[in-house]
Amino acid sequence: EVQLVESGGGLVQSGGSLRLSCAASGFTNDDYAIGWFRQAPGKEREAVSCISRRDGSTYYADSVKGRFTVSSDNAKNTVYLQMNSLSPEDTAVYYCARTGSADVLLLRRLWSEPHIFLSWGQGTQVTVSS
């Protein structure tokens, strides 16, 4: 059974940093990508970043480029999201999710689309105070 467990959320002041972790288990191959999404109260789910397990390609939303960094430790089956220069606008529940494929063309076009992600974690709350 595929499982994704997020951790590392919390309360931080504006300008601060947090590192989220997504621990994955139950995968039978490396043909997938892990994405990070977030959802603030009253807003739609928003794609934040994505990393391919196959080749390490990364993708970022414009709103987080230069501030957030996604990385993976394949030996630990864990993906990280380092978040710097946080602002109150980053406050949300953050989720990690897994695609069913790491196809490069698929990810380039659709990495930000929730419907290509098959499994989701339970989420971790990030709150940034002003």
* Per-residue confidence in pLDDT tens, the chain, 130 aa: 889 999 999 999 999 999 999 999 998 888 999 999 999 999 999 999 999 999 999 999 999 999 999 999 999 999 999 999 999 999 999 999 999 999 999 999 999 999 999 999 999 999 999 9
Cβ neighbours around 43 below 10 Å, total: 9
**Among 60, 10, 65, CA closest to 35:** 60
DSSP E strand boundaries for the chain = 3-7, 10-13, 18-25, 33-39, 46-52, 58-60, 68-73, 78-83, 92-99, 117-120, 124-129
Classify residue 67 by its DSSP letter: T
DSSP string for residues in 103-126? -HHHHHHHTT-GGGEEEE---EEE
Classify residue 90 by its DSSP letter: G
pLDDT of residue 88: 97
